[in-house]
Amino acid sequence: MNFFIVSIIKIVIVFAIFMTTLAYLQWVERKVLAHIQSRTGPFRVGPNGLLQPLADVFKLLTKEDLLPPYVNKLVYLLAPFIAVCLALISISVIPFGPEIDVFGYRTYMQISDLNVGVLFVLAIGSVSVYGVALAGWSSNNKYSLLGALRSSAQMISYELPLTLVIISPLLLSNRLSFRAISDSQAGYYLGFIPRWNIVQMPFPQIFAFLIFMVAAFAETNRLPFDLAEAESELVAGFHTEYSSMKFACFFMSEYANIVTITCVATLLFLGGWHPLFPAPYSSWVPTAVFILAALTCFYHAIRPARKRDRLTFPVFGIAFLVLAALWAVPFLQVFLVPAFWFAAKVGLLIFTFIWVRGTLPRFRYDQLMHFAWTFLFPCALLNLLLTALFVAVF
Amino acid sequence: MDTILFIIFAVVAIVCAFNLVLQKHPISSALSLIGVMGSLAVLYLLLGAEFIAMAQMIVYGGAVMVLFIFVIMLLNAGTEKSSGKSWFAQIAGLPLLLAFVALLGVLIRGVLPPMRTVRFGSWVGGTAQRIGLMLFTQYLLPFEVISILILIAILGAVVLARKEIE
Amino acid sequence: MNFWLIPLFPLIGFLLNGLFGKRLSKSAVNVIGIGSIAVSFVYVVIVLSRLYPLDAARSEHYFTWIQSGFLQVGFDLTVDRLTAVMLLIVTGVGLLIHIYAAGYMEHEGGYYRFFSYFNLFVFFMLLLVLASNLLLMFVGWEGVGLCSYLLVGFYFTEDFAGKAANKAFIVNRIGDFGFSLGIFLIVVTFKTLDFGKIAASVATMPVEAAAGTLTAITLLLFVGATGKSAQLPLYVWLPDAMAAPTPVSALIHAATMVTAGVYMIARVSFLYSHAPLAMQVVAVIGLATAVFAATIGITQNDIKRVFAYSTVSQLGYMFLGVGIGAYSAGIFHLMTHAFFKALLFLGAGSVIHGLGGEQDLRHMGGLRKAMPITFITLGIASLAISGFPGFSGFYSKDAILSAAYTHAPWMFWVGAFTAGMTAFYVFRAYFLAFFGTYRGHQHAHESPLSMTLPLIVLAILAAFGGFLNVPAWLSPLFPLAEHENATAMVISAAFGIGGIVLAVVLYVVRPSLAESLKTRAGSFYTLVLNKYYVDEFYSAAVVKPLESLSRVVLWKGVDKAVIDTSLVNGSGRVVRGWGALLRQLQSGSIRNYATWVLAGSLLVIFVLGLVGDAR
Amino acid sequence: MLHLPPVPLSWYLILSAILFTLGVAGFLYRKSVITVFMSIELMLNAVNLSFVSFSYELRRIDGHIYSFFVMVVAAAEAAVGLAIILTVFRNRGTLQIDEIDSMKL
């Protein structure tokens, strides 16, 4: 029975963190985009707009839930449900840290360690087309249908290079479980170069990583590959007819997919939760980072730009100090440090997602498909062949 | 636990399969079929076939059925219309089907020797590793042949679906 | 020693020219066509010099071709002294004629086609010669027949060429029918087709008991030989085969292929030696052919036809030789004949080439100044065929006639008389062409070097080839009978010289005398001029009845009434009736089909699962 | 938690038989070409289930290999089959299986 209780506790923790992350991801994206465009972004609700996600949730919940009369009702209602479920389910096989000891009970920092975790994520990813496709079809709207067709074709097309490129790191670590893959990347060359798959001998997967990231943009329907919701052509694509909570489901599933795919990228290529440099020093990096953040806050509190800063920044500074203290506690370090490194890598990749959105224009549809089939796919194949060759020879 | 899971997913599979037959719209049928496939994947997991379960999701769920839905969307296939043709199938079909399922039931219960009971985890044979080994040693020739078959199918599909260039 | 390389080179030449010749330049085709034969010739010389004394036959087994019950036929090649002579003739004379052909065919269409066929012919001829069992020999035998057909019909746009090709092929079928029957009889009798094994079992056979079978076998094989070697009664195709380009006539229809029959009889001499009756038949047919063809040759006006009948006549001589047991003399004559007859044809070809295609002797004359080399070499060839003392033909012909004198004096006298006729008609043609005044309208010129060079080489061979003592070389195979006969030698030489003198008198000194003789002979002359109406007789006796039989009985009776009406249409009606019934099932409704499939599988599962042994 | 007796393998086979029969039923009673095609996929799935079941019974992996091959063939078949359906629809303008009953138009 312990197994069930522990599993439920883990599910609750992961779900809570995951959902919060998703909510704040939107805030982060808006902020980052704003700063890229020399704006301030959300500012009104809460200090620096920190309560904006909450406000958004209220707005979406209280909006009128429209059910257009001409839609296929069952499928129309089912589609956002499918989308969000499939988007959330993959996180269950993602490990966030090593095996830990909580009150004498040994468990993994992961909801479920599946033997075939990679295949599971791929399976869920390939099924998640349905959410978009069915939404577009059931809306009975030509823009929706076109958007759905585009996005499903795009997702199917990019799934191929994605899958092919995933095989290469699998060849290096010989396992299908994310935990085992991550563990195979532990250790350092010459004592300081991490043995991540991205630089793993005999064949560094740097190209695989780049191809993976490009395909990931397409898989998650993000700019520059967000043809399915190209406002100028298709209104809002497959979710034109959706409003309020159903719309929020699609919104959430998009961010969940981003998080999942960056987690997968981190685990497959960037060594999972293994730190950038060896243990005694890397364990203190989070503390140092948080202290630095706290010092920055105090600095701004001393020289406030606005009146209210004199109040808010010291609060943030103290919060950061508390975090730094938490990460300095030895018995908490065991699971907090890996989690920090994992979160740091994932955060970096997510930032890349937003950064790309802020800088690159949108592709044309035929260019997109052409790119997938005539460039990305052969590259992935070539990378796979070379990796196989190197693994076989050395 | 095994029993509960089996019953749940067997019922889901059968209901979805019935739905597939009874629904009038292709999309509903396709969704039902996806339901059948998903529950079958769970049953495969119960039988220790984890690789096949995942392959089921990826190949059937992710590729084949998406293709179906795609085609349904592309052709904008509407609900079926009943036609007066094929009266033989209409009349003789049901008794034949009943006889068929009854015969299979009798065969399975009566003729086959008693079989194991299913316990999740009592045999985990279908790991990716073992299947890969088998595929590339004992079943190498069929594997290569089937690769060529896939290639031919791709070419055939391209040739068939290509729009005629005037 | 890798004998298989010998025929391989011409085969490669054939394949290269046949497959890519259209895209190759003429010189490339030449290099391939002539080069392959040259390499083959050089290789033959190397092989033979390595094996030099060659006292015993050397066989090589490559693979088993046919394995069927007791019968085992291997792809085996054998080289012995007889083969050696034939190999040198085929590749040597073949090489010269290939070189000649490069000049002769220069302005013809289908250049590559000609050379690829020519190479293919050499390949099959070498296979025929090298084969160490009858079936492989038969392959070569049929192959050379095929090439002969292709080359006779080389100018396939011309009606007469196509007809001549068909005639050659069909007449040869009759002979080959006999030949294959002979092979079957050998299989039944000896359970093998290998020459060595047949010879061994013949030696141990009781002579009296086997005489009938052996006579039947040898006569059937001889039927094949009469077809291929143009003997009575199947000689009719050879004169028509002159429709082929002249090099073809020289190589195939004079020097090599038509002598295959003689070679075959010499090869299976161990069978003939035990069948005296068959040998008598061979000798008589050979002699009769020699006389018969010689008389026709006197009256012909087409230069190639004269030489064609001369070929038939000389082949008759060879059969006379092998028929009376003088195998080595027959082969000797085969060799010298290859030299001088090839030379005669090539010379004729040179004349025709020089006159732009003119073949009629009546439109020639006085060419000796325009074509000196052709004039001299053709003169040597004529002397050689006439048996003029010192030239090659004298020795070989004398060997046959001496043996004939010992065998039966009347054969000698007939043969000697024929030798006189031969000398007469050959020189008639020679004088008509080169002496007197020119009666045609063409501007005569000498041929290019590529044509005259083979003429010169062949002239040397024709003049001195008689000094190669072939009978002595072949003595391990065919024991040398001591029948050198001075009297016979003198008499035959006298006949030959007499013929030449007569020709000089009639065509050089007093040409008017020939015309008056022609009119005086009257109806007999007409008879001979029309080749004794043999073709017409065959047409009336064989072709027409066969045609009407086919038309009335086979076509209208069997084909239309029995096969068409009752069998074909009847079965069609039955099928249509059933089809009308069963068509009801074939409604095109897939769901109905599926129901049937379901019913069928239900039945199968029921039978196998509950009733059968599947449990 | 309630403790039910474990399931014998024959239940899986019976489930497979039922699914197969339903697939056949879909083939016989559905009128759209696409649905008929889906019924075929259902039959293939049912057969796969029995392959995997037998594999479990015999403790051999061969059944998994077979079902893997079945999947691959099914994928190939879906690609070609749907392309054919597209072509049929382009040429005849209908997806009703009863109206596609002649070889020639």
Lowest mean pLDDT among B121-125, C62-66, C139-143, C308-312: B121-125
Both C404 and C484 in a single domain? yes
**Domain end residue (candidates: C513, C529, C545):** C529
CB–CB of B89 and C592 under 8 A? yes
Both C523 and C544 in a single domain? no
Higher pLDDT, A272 or D17: D17
* SS3 of chain B: CHHHHHHHHHHHHHHHHHHHHHCCCHHHHHHHHHHHHHHHHHHHHHCCCHHHHHHHHHHHHHHHHHHHHHHHHHHCCCCCCCCCCCHHHHHHHHHHHHHHHHHHHHHHHHHCCCCCEECCCCCCCCCHHHHHHHHHCCCHHHHHHHHHHHHHHHHHHHHHHCCCCC
Alpha-carbon distance of C257 to C249, in angstroms, equals: 10
Alpha-carbon distance of C556 to C292, in angstroms, equals: 41
CA distance B96 to chain D (A): 10
The one-letter amino acid code at C62 reads: Y
pLDDT, tens digit, 9 for 90 and up, residues C578-612:
888 887 777 777 888 888 888 898 888 888 776 66
Q: Which member of C592, C602, C614 has the closest CB to residue B99?
A: C602
Question: Between residues 94 and 153 of chain B, which touch chain C (CB distance below 8 Å)?
Answer: 96-97, 99-100, 103-104, 106-107, 111
Q: How many structural domains does chain B have?
A: 2
Ramachandran sector of residue B16 (left: φ over 0; alpha: ψ -120 to 50; beta: rest) = alpha
Classify residue B157: in a domain, yes or no. Answer: yes
**Domain end residue (candidates: C478, C505, C529):** C529
CB–CB of D28 and C588 under 8 A? no
- Whether A111 contacts A98, CB under 8 Å: no
Give whole-number Cα distances, C355 to A378, C379, C433, in Å: 71, 18, 11
**Domain end residue (candidates: C492, C513, C529):** C529
CA distance B96 to chain C (A): 7
CB–CB of B111 and C589 under 8 A? no
At residue A373, the pLDDT reads 86
CB–CB of C587 and D101 under 8 A? yes
Higher pLDDT, D52 or A115: D52
β-bridge pairing A193-194 and C71-79: unpaired
Alpha-carbon distance of D79 to A156, in angstroms, equals: 13
Higher pLDDT, A109 or A77: A77
pLDDT at C393 over 70: yes
> Residue B12 burial by CB count (10 A; 0-12/13-18/19+): exposed, middle or buried?
middle
β-bridge pairing A188-189 and A193-194: antiparallel
The string over A35-52, giving b where at least 16 C-beta atoms fall within 10 Å of a residue's C-beta and e elsewhere, is eeeeeebbeeeeebbbeb
pLDDT, tens digit, 9 for 90 and up, residues A314-361:
888 888 889 888 888 887 787 788 888 888 899 999 999 888 888 888
Q: Residue range C555-571: average pLDDT?
A: 82
User: H-helix or E-strand containing A303?
Assistant: none
- Whether C395 contacts C466, CB under 8 Å: yes
CB–CB of D76 and B149 under 8 A? yes
pLDDT at A271 over 70: yes
At residue D20, the pLDDT reads 93
D68 inside 8 A of chain B by CB: yes
pLDDT, tens digit, 9 for 90 and up, residues B96-142:
888 888 888 888 887 777 778 878 777 877 788 888 888 888 889 99
Alpha-carbon distance of C71 to C80, in angstroms, equals: 24
Segments forming the whole domain that contains residue C573: 536-611
CB–CB of C605 and B107 under 8 A? yes
Both C299 and C436 in a single domain? yes
CB–CB of B86 and C605 under 8 A? no
pLDDT at B161 over 60: yes
pLDDT band at D18 (very low <50, low <70, confident <90, very high): very high
Both C555 and C525 in a single domain? no
CB–CB of B93 and C602 under 8 A? no
Classify residue C237: in a domain, yes or no. Answer: no
Number of residues that this document lists for chain B: 166
Q: Residue range D56-72: average pLDDT?
A: 90
> Residue C521 burial by CB count (10 A; 0-12/13-18/19+): exposed, middle or buried?
middle
Alpha-carbon distance of B148 to D73, in angstroms, equals: 11
Classify residue C456: in a domain, yes or no. Answer: yes
Q: Which member of B20, B59, B146 has the closest CB to residue D38?
A: B20
Are B and D close enough to touch, i.e. 3+ CB pairs under 8 angstroms? Answer: yes
pLDDT at C539 over 80: no
At residue C358, the pLDDT reads 80
Higher pLDDT, A187 or C374: C374
Segments forming the whole domain that contains residue B154: 127-166
At residue C233, the pLDDT reads 82
B45 inside 8 A of chain D by CB: no
Q: Which member of D38, D68, D95 has the closest CB to residue B52?
A: D68
pLDDT, tens digit, 9 for 90 and up, residues B14-69:
999 999 888 888 888 888 999 999 999 999 988 888 889 888 888 888 888 888 88
At residue A231, the pLDDT reads 62
Chains that touch C (3 or more CB pairs under 8 A): B, D
Q: Which member of B51, B63, B127 has the closest CB to residue A126?
A: B63
Q: B60 to chain A: which residues are within 8 Å by CB?
A: none
Q: Residue range C361-366: average pLDDT?
A: 81
pLDDT at C613 over 60: no
CB–CB of B118 and D9 under 8 A? yes
pLDDT at C514 over 90: no
Tokens 């029975």: give the residue. A1
Classify residue C12: in a domain, yes or no. Answer: no
pLDDT band at D21 (very low <50, low <70, confident <90, very high): very high
Q: D96 to chain B: which residues are within 8 Å by CB?
A: 80-81, 83
pLDDT at B164 over 80: no
Q: A176 to chain B: which residues are within 8 Å by CB?
A: 128
pLDDT at C124 over 90: yes
Ramachandran sector of residue B77 (left: φ over 0; alpha: ψ -120 to 50; beta: rest) = beta
Q: Which member of C587, C591, C598 has the closest CB to residue D97?
A: C591
Ordered by start, the domain boundaries in chain D are 9-99
Q: What percent of chain A has pLDDT over 90?
A: 1
CB–CB of C594 and B89 under 8 A? yes
**Residues of A at the B interface, defined by Cβ within 8 angstroms:** 72, 74-75, 78, 114-116, 119-120, 122-127, 129-130, 133-134, 136-138, 145, 148-149, 152-153, 156, 159, 176
> DSSP of C11-27, one letter per residue?
HHHHHHHHHHGGGS-HH
pLDDT at C122 over 90: yes
pLDDT at C76 over 70: yes
pLDDT at C572 over 70: yes
C597 inside 8 A of chain B by CB: no
Both B70 and B136 in a single domain? no
CB–CB of D56 and B49 under 8 A? yes
Helices (H) and strands (E) in chain C, counts: 28, 2
Ramachandran sector of residue A277 (left: φ over 0; alpha: ψ -120 to 50; beta: rest) = beta
pLDDT band at C183 (very low <50, low <70, confident <90, very high): very high
> Bridge-partner residues for A107, per DSSP?
A100
Q: Which member of C587, C588, C591 has the closest CB to residue D28?
A: C591
CATH architecture of the domain D9-99 equals Orthogonal Bundle (1.10)
Are C and D close enough to touch, i.e. 3+ CB pairs under 8 angstroms? Answer: yes
pLDDT band at C36 (very low <50, low <70, confident <90, very high): very high
Residue B23: CATH number of its domain: 1.20.120.1200
Q: How many structural domains does chain C have?
A: 2
Classify residue B28: in a domain, yes or no. Answer: yes
pLDDT at C167 over 80: yes
pLDDT band at C40 (very low <50, low <70, confident <90, very high): very high
* Mutation choice for B interface testing from D42, D51, D62, D102 by most B CBs within 10 A: D42
Classify residue B106: in a domain, yes or no. Answer: no
Classify residue C235: in a domain, yes or no. Answer: no
pLDDT at B166 over 60: no
Q: Residue range A76-91: average pLDDT?
A: 86
C-alpha angle A173/A177/A179, rounded to 5°? 85
The one-letter amino acid code at A48 reads: N
C595 inside 8 A of chain B by CB: yes
Tokens 């987690």: give the residue. A263
CA distance D103 to chain B (A): 17
Q: Which member of D11, D71, D89 has the closest CB to residue B6?
A: D11
Q: Residue range A104-114: average pLDDT?
A: 76
Ordered by start, the domain boundaries in chain A are 65-274+329-393
B36 inside 8 A of chain D by CB: yes
